[in-house]
Amino acid sequence: MPWATLPRATLQWTVNSMMASLTDLHFLLHDVLDYEGHYAKLDLSDVPDRPLLDAIIEEAARFCEGELAPINRVGDEQGCTLKDGEVTTPAGFKEAYAKYIEGGWAGLSGDVAYGGQGLPDSVSLMVQDLMSCANMAWTMYMGLSHGVVEALEHHGSETQKQQFLPKLLTGEWTGTMCLTESHAGSDVGLLRTKAEPLADGAHAITGTKIFISAGDHDLAENILHLVLARVVDAPSGTKGISMFVVPKFDLDGSRNGVVCGTVEEKMGIHGNATCTLHFESARGYLVGEQGHGMPNMFTMMNAARLVVGLQAISQAHTGLQLSLEYAHERQQMRSLTGPKAPDQPADPIIVHPDIRRLLLTQRAIVDGGRMLIFYGGQIADQATHLDGQAQADAQQLIDFLTPVIKGFLTELGFESVNHAMQVFGGHGYISETGVEQTVRDARITTIYEGTTGIQGLDLLGRKILQTQGAGLLLFLAQIDELARELNEDAQLAGLGKELARCSAEWGALAKDLGGKALENLDELGAAAVDFLFYSGYLTLAFCWGRIAQTAARQLAGKRPDEKFDADFLEGKLAAAQFYFARILPRAVAHKMAIEAGADTLMNPSARALGPW
């Protein structure tokens, strides 16, 4: 049946069935990253084994296929509505959330002392991967709650933990993160929301926050807002900011002074309520010490940035599966080297070199990006569950990788879904095929939780220059070790040689930029995004090197217990070779842009943008 004539229900089921690509996920988690062995090395009271992980993943896939994927388009078409100060989510969202609670998904990685199941955070990451592939807008409601749990576990008082965590970990309550104000944007130090102390120790929070994802909805009984505000007479700038938990319904059950003013009309993620929230002397409770709001909030923001990278790759994954199936089905023109389907009026478009370029680029982004996210999940686990120098090193490494995961993977994820649309041609631009929704939904990931420019400055300024490159040096050591291992295999020696060259070049480039920034900080700003992309392409080279190494070992019979067939493993090797040959060279252009210096942007005599 031609795609143009497929009914929407059929297309939705096509997305649905392709979403749960469990073979790729099992290969990555068990074979490339050995998550079972990873957990065995952590200080855990109950170590998750492979059967448990598989059961969680497969049950999550069934939940996604049965509950989330069927309402993905519904959420996009209906959006959220605001009436009489209350937000209603699209049809089916509330029912799916009730089944989510019933299944016990909310508390997977929560502290057992407060009703959680005590699994490492990376287990929740696996579940969010599948759920975001099925329905990104719906998944954002529960994803934000996870960040609130982390912030309260790290910085809340024991009383606050007892008050708030049990309900969050059952999913009966959800959470949000309230930073942005219309006049401030990413410059959070300019915020005007104020907190006035009350006689009973609480604070009256007054101000307006915008762009608050999941800011109001009808899914849960209550919503806990983590709000940044300035206590009266606190200093200006970020040092005067504190963090408060502000419930929609206060602890006594009464309606608190927080009101949804608008639900934003957006490009994508229509099923998630992005709200303007007005706090009108709302009762809030100080979390942590006064004036420590920004570092406390970063506990939540850093976890959220990993999830945003995951969201981008999840949309890229869905786009890849859609366009791959379409490329096999769609017949158009003949192969340049002669008919490949002589019994048909035309060949399937997958035989054409440029279609293969588009599909292989998507594959390189999706598999490599997924690898980076779950590798980051392991490092984050180590930073939480190890101690001493091992814990300190893991923290340095995840701090370094976070802006790469958030900034670089979101840009590549958006590139990938656009390639998916290109495979469809005109059929991709219309709604029926479903691919254009992935483009619109993925676009936000490059913006929220800090734009790409913010991530570039964070990587180069805070995570390299301020730490003398501590995290980069740790990562380069891992790249060098992998390069040595690859060089021992004749089939992979070319990849090893290239990794070793990249490692040396990366360290030298960072050192050179550090010297230039000492003389002129505009050099840092001018180089930041290009350095982020350069770092990202080299990081994905490391990921593809590990994928190729695993596939080659299994093909050589060194892992005879595995069940992946030769076609699957050879496909991974081919994708790795494609990445090194056709994607990694992009880093050269970014290096050249960095070396061009700040004058090409900042020289006052350059009038390309007019006087300034």
pLDDT tens for each residue of 488-523: 999 999 999 999 999 999 999 999 998 998 889 999
Q: Per residue in 205-239, pLDDT tens?
A: 999 999 999 999 999 999 999 999 999 989 988 88
Q: Per residue in 269-305, pLDDT tens?
A: 999 999 999 999 999 999 999 999 888 887 777 788 9
Question: 566-578 and 522-555 helices cross at what angle (nearest 10)?
Answer: 150
Asked whether residue 587 is assigned to any structural domain, the reply reads: yes
User: Residue 561 — pLDDT band, cuts 50, 70, 90?
Assistant: low
* pLDDT for the residue 5: 40
Rounded mean pLDDT, 558-575:
82
How far is residue 446's CA from residue 312's CA, in Å, rounded to a whole number? 8
Tally of domains within the chain: 1
* pLDDT for the residue 605: 67
Domain that residue 519 falls in: 469-600
User: Does the structure show a pLDDT above 50 at 16?
Assistant: no
User: Does the structure show a pLDDT above 90 at 143?
Assistant: no
Q: Kindly report the three-state secondary structure assignment for every residue of 188-255.
A: HHHCCCEEEECCCCCEEEEEEEEEEECCCCCCCCEEEEEEEEEECCCCCCHHHEEEEEEECECCCCCE
User: Does the structure show a pLDDT above 70 at 103?
Assistant: yes
Beta bridge partners of 258: 279
User: Residue 12 — pLDDT band, cuts 50, 70, 90?
Assistant: very low
Rounded mean pLDDT, 302-330:
93
* pLDDT for the residue 238: 85
Q: How far is CA 349 from CA 327, 330, 438, in A?
A: 5, 6, 21
User: Does the structure show a pLDDT above 50 at 257?
Assistant: yes
Asked whether residue 85 is assigned to any structural domain, the reply reads: no
Q: Per residue in 419-474, pLDDT tens?
A: 999 999 999 999 999 999 999 999 999 999 889 999 999 999 999 999 999 999 99
Q: Per residue in 31-83, pLDDT tens?
A: 999 999 999 999 898 899 999 999 999 999 999 999 999 999 999 999 999 99
Question: 522-555 and 470-487 helices cross at what angle (nearest 10)?
Answer: 30
Which helix (H) or strand (E) is 393 found in, with range? helix 388-403
* Residue 106 tokens, joined: 């909310």
Asked whether residue 142 is assigned to any structural domain, the reply reads: no
Counting residues of the chain whose pLDDT is more than 70, the rounded percentage is 95
Share the mean pLDDT of the chain. Answer: 92
User: Does the structure show a pLDDT above 90 at 11?
Assistant: no
User: Residue 565 — pLDDT band, cuts 50, 70, 90?
Assistant: confident
User: Does the structure show a pLDDT above 80 at 249?
Assistant: yes
* pLDDT for the residue 604: 66
Asked whether residue 570 is assigned to any structural domain, the reply reads: yes
* pLDDT for the residue 141: 95
User: Does the structure show a pLDDT above 60 at 2?
Assistant: no
How far is residue 451's CA from residue 459's CA, in Å, rounded to a whole number? 12
Q: Per residue in 382-430, pLDDT tens?
A: 999 999 999 999 999 999 999 999 999 999 999 999 999 999 999 999 9
Which residue is catalytic, options 150, 436, 449, 498? 449
Active site residue 415: no
* pLDDT for the residue 10: 34
How far is residue 42's CA from residue 430's CA, in Å, rounded to a whole number? 48
* pLDDT for the residue 21: 77
How far is residue 6's CA from residue 14's CA, in Å, rounded to a whole number? 10
User: Does the structure show a pLDDT above 70 at 111?
Assistant: yes
The position carrying tokens 């676009």 is 443
User: Does the structure show a pLDDT above 60 at 25?
Assistant: yes
How far is residue 599's CA from residue 612's CA, in Å, rounded to a whole number? 15
Asked whether residue 404 is assigned to any structural domain, the reply reads: no
* pLDDT for the residue 612: 58
Beta bridge partners of 194: 206, 230
Asked whether residue 25 is assigned to any structural domain, the reply reads: no
